[in-house]
Amino acid sequence: MDAKPILITGCSSGIGRCVARGLAARGYRVFASARRQEDVEDLQAEGLSSLLLDLADSDSIAAAVDEVLKHTGGQLYALFNNGAYGQPGAVEDLSREVLRQQFETNLFGWHELTNRVLPVMRRQGYGRIIHNSSVLGFVALPFRGAYTASKYALEGLTDTLRLELHGSGIHVSLIEPGPIESRFRPNAYAAYKRHIDPQTSVHRERYLKMEQRLLKEGPVVPFTLPPEAVLKKVVRALESRRPGARYYVTFPTYLFSALKRLLTQAALDRLLLRV
C-alpha cells in the first residue's frame, strides 16, 4: 500500500511537531499543519509537507482539508487532532468571550475538522481519528477550568462519535497525556497575560504563585515525559487492528484514572487541591 496520509494539527511545537516527524520517519505521508505561515515554512524546511490550518477559523479548516485531499487523490487514512492551548484562570475570572475562545480552538475546531474528513473516511470504508485529550479530560485542577472544560467536552463528543461510528470501519481514539515537555506552559502564560487581570481578582495571591510555575523552564512536576511518549501511543492507535478507545500517557494519568474509580469525590478533591 502507498504511504498512508495523515493530517496533524498544531505542529509548530511540542507533541504535534514530534508526532509529525516520527510518523514521517515511519513512512506515513504526513501533512503537518500549523496556524502561522512562518511555522509552515519551518516545517517545510525540515522536509515535511506542511500547510496552514487555524482551528479557530472555519475557512482555514475547509481550505486545509481541500488542499490535503488534492494531494492525496481524495484519500485520508487518519486525522490527529492535537492543536490546542490552555487558558489559565479561576472560573470566576473567565469572561464568556474568553471561555468561548478556548472552546473555539480546543473543541469546535476539532469537531468541525473531524466532520470535514468523516465523509472521506466513510467513502473509503476505513479511517482513524485520534484526539489528543489530557488527564484533565477526566479530573479537574483549580485555575484550569476553561481548559479542563474543553477536554471534558472533547471526551464526551469523542465517546459519542465512537458509538456512532461502530461498524463503519472508522476508529476513534483518545490519547490522554499527563505532563509532557512542550511549549504548553509558555503558551498558557501568554493566554493568561492576555485575558486575566490578577489585580482585580480575589485569587490574586494564587495567581502570583501560578505565574512562577508557568514561567519556570523545564519540568515543574514529577513524571514529565518527552513528547515521544505520546508518539508511541499514536502509533498504536494508528496501527492496532482494533485500536483502543483511550491511551494513557505518563504515570499521573494512570494514577488519577485509578484514583477516580477508587476514591470518594471528597478524598479525590483533597488530593487534587494539593497538586
Q: 104 or 168: whose CB is closer to ligand NAP?
A: 104
3-state SS class at 243: coil
220 or 267, CB closer to ligand NAP?
A: 220
The helix-helix angle for 265-272 and 251-262 (nearest 10°) equals: 150
CB nearer ligand NAP, residue 168 or residue 224? 224
3-state secondary structure of 35: coil
**Shortest Cβ 16–ligand NAP spacing (Å):** 5
Nearer to ligand NAP, 215 or 267 (CB): 215
How far apart are alpha carbons 261 and 263 in whole angstroms?
6
Tell me the closest approach of the beta carbon of residue 110 to ligand NAP, in angstroms: 9
| End-to-end CA, the chain | 47
Of the residues 28, 77, 85, 147, only one is catalytic, namely: 147
Instruction: Kindly list the residues in this chain that would bind ligand NAP in the complex (CB under 6 A).
Output: 9-16, 34-36, 53-56, 82-85, 105, 132, 134, 177, 179-180, 182-184, 187
Q: How far is the CB of 109 from ligand NAP (least distance, A)?
A: 6
CA dist 175 and 169 (Å) reads 19
192 is catalytic: no
- Residue 127 has phi, psi (to 5 degrees) of 160, 160
Question: Which residues are CB-neighbours of 215 under 8 A, at least 6 positions away?
Answer: 185, 189
Residue identified by cell 487558558 is 87
248 CB neighbour count, 10 Å cutoff: 19
- Using CB positions, name the residue nearest to ligand NAP: 14
CB 252 within 8 A of CB 221: yes
Which of 150, 267 has the CB closer to ligand NAP?
150
Query: Whole-number minimum distance, CB 253 to ligand NAP, in Å?
Result: 8
Nearest approach in angstroms of CB 174 to ligand NAP is: 11
Catalytic residues: 147
